Amino acid sequence: MSGQQMRLTATVTGRVQGVGFRFRTMAEAQKLGLDGEAWNSLDGTVRIVAEGGKPELEELLAWLRSEHAPGSVDNVDAEYGAATGEFTGFGVG
């Protein structure tokens, strides 16, 4: 990871549940050296919290918005904030 640690919080809408979205997100995040978690929400979205360097977080966000993400992504709402250090590794909830 590079530079100051930050947090990315993202909500992904579309056909993103039941298509391996969380597990592929975990694989991408691990490849980038990010910590955090991805989980399904009751409203049909996938929520993602990831912590690491800003370049790596931006790369994950670009992947979430790309055609390489599984399913059919309609929108990704994202915001950056300060990292809390609460995660060790990246998991699926």
Per-residue confidence (pLDDT) for residue 20, from 0 to 100: 97
What pLDDT, on the 0 to 100 scale, is given for residue 15? 97
Give the integer Cα–Cα distance in Å for 49 and 30.
13
Which of 7, 15, 22, 65 is catalytic? The answer is: 22
Looking at every residue in the chain, the average pLDDT score rounds to 96
pTM of the model: 0.94
For tokens 């699926």, name the residue. 92
Catalytic residue among 7, 15, 40, 65: 40
CA dist 20 → 16, 27, 54, 61, 64 (Å): 8, 11, 25, 17, 13
CATH annotation of 5-82: 3.30.70.100
Find the mean pLDDT for residues 2-27: 95
Task: Give 7 or 1, the one with higher predicted confidence.
Answer: 7
Is residue 40 part of the annotated active site? The answer reads: yes
Query: At 1, is the pLDDT very low, low, confident or very high (cuts 50, 70, 90)?
Result: very low
